[in-house]
């Protein structure tokens, strides 16, 4: 595995360094599967100085080609009932990236007050929160909320399908929303009040998608149980 790198100073273009969730979407696999492969050293990745996994697009393509595969075609998805294209807000994206560590710390503090996680679970939770912030920043920079909302729905679905309590995915989504509000509202206030409103609405939609995904996961679990 490579030595940790500083994403801000390395030569790879930032848009070619992908978060776990973005890389999973590129490969057409689940986030949990990609994390497991990376932890086992089976897929090339890097660590930032903050300890977060990042995947270089060109490396992933070479890795996949060496195994006789190719990137999957973009999946055909049903049209979103609520539009996901928004006005790009680079100021919000920059603020999210710059405050990511503080937001994660605040979110963890809120969740730990309700019961401390084990060290292993806390590490995985921290990475999920960082990835959620990265996806949110990418969404506001590009003006497309679709990928981060679908990732939120998938997180809910996989917990529901596994029969895990809804408290974990929903608790993380709500704690993240409160932490963003606490850390970023002062920075984005004043003339950027509209940006704050857009950010709040997106976080509310994300939490809702976690809940709907979780319900769908539960239904899927029940169908499997009934068929068995």
Residues with Cβ within 8 Å of residue 88, at least 6 apart in sequence: 140, 141, 142, 143
Q: Is 63 domain-assigned?
A: yes
Whether 81 is in a domain gets the answer no
Q: Is residue 129 in a domain? A: yes
Q: Above pLDDT 70, what percent of the chain?
A: 76
Q: Using the predicted structure, report yes or no on whether residue 3 has a pLDDT greater than 50.
A: no
Among 76, 109, 132, where does a domain finish?
76
Name residue, tokens 């993240």. Answer: 176
Residues 124 and 41 both lie in one domain? no
Residues 38 and 121 in one domain: no
Residue 51 lies in a domain: yes
Domain co-membership, 128 together with 223 = yes
- CATH at residue 12: 1.10.10.10
Q: What is the pLDDT of residue 11?
A: 47
* pLDDT confidence of residue 106: 94
22-58 residue pLDDT tens: 788 777 777 767 877 887 788 888 887 767 788 898 8
Reported as a single tens digit per residue, the pLDDT across 210-224 is: 999 999 989 888 877
pLDDT tens by residue, 106-121: 999 988 866 655 555 7
pLDDT, tens digit (0-9, with 9 covering 90-100), for 7-29: 333 444 545 678 887 788 777 77
Instruction: Examine the domain organization and report whether 128 and 68 are in the same domain.
Output: no
pLDDT tens digits along 132-166: 898 898 889 888 888 888 888 888 888 888 888 88
Number of domains in the chain: 2
Phi-psi region of 79 (alpha: psi -120 to 50; beta: other; left: phi over 0): beta
Higher local confidence (pLDDT), 113 or 83: 83
DSSP-assigned letters across all residues of 42-100: -S--EEBTTS-EEEEHHHHHHHHHHTT--PPPPPP-PPPSS--B----HHHHHHHHHTH
Task: Find, among 153, 150, 133, the residue nearest to 50 by Cα.
Answer: 133
* Report field, pTM of the whole predicted structure over 0.85: no
- Please tell me which residue, 192 or 5, carries the higher pLDDT value: 192
84 in a structural domain: no
Residues 218 and 114 placed together within one structural domain of the fold: yes
pLDDT of 72 above 60: no
Same domain, 112 and 197: yes
Same domain, 179 and 99: yes
* pLDDT for the residue numbered 194: 78
Inter-helix orientation angle 167-188/119-142, to 10°: 50
Judgement on whether residues 40 and 144 belong to the same structural domain of the protein: no
How many CA atoms, within 13 angstroms, populate the side-chain half-sphere of residue 85?
Answer: 1
In a domain, 191, yes or no: yes
| Domain boundaries, position 20 | 1-76
């Amino acid at each position: 595995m490579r030595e940790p790198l500083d994403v801000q100073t390395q030569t790879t273009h930032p848009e070619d360094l992908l978060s776990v969730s973005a890389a999973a979407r590129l490969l057409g696999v689940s986030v949990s599967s990609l994390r497991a492969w990376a932890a086992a050293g089976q897929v090339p990745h890097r660590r930032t100085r903050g300890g977060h996994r990042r995947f270089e697009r060109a490396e992933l393509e070479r890795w996949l080609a060496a195994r006789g595969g190719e990137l999957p075609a973009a999946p055909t998805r049903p049209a979103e009932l609520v539009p996901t294209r928004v006005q790009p807000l680079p100021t919000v994206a920059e603020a999210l990236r710059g405050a990511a560590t503080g937001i994660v710390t605040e979110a963890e503090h809120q969740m730990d007050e309700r019961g401390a996680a084990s060290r292993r679970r806390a590490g995985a939770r921290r990475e999920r929160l960082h990835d959620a912030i990265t996806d949110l920043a990418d969404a506001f920079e590009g003006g497309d909320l679709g990928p981060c909302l679908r990732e939120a729905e998938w997180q809910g679905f996989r917990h529901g399908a596994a029969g895990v309590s809804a408290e974990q995915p929903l608790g993380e989504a709500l704690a993240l929303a409160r932490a963003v509000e606490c850390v970023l509202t002062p920075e984005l206030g004043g003339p950027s009040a509209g940006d704050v409103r857009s950010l709040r609405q997106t976080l509310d939609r994300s939490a809702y998608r976690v809940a709907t995904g979780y319900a769908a996961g539960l239904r899927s679990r029940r169908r499997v149980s009934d068929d068995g």
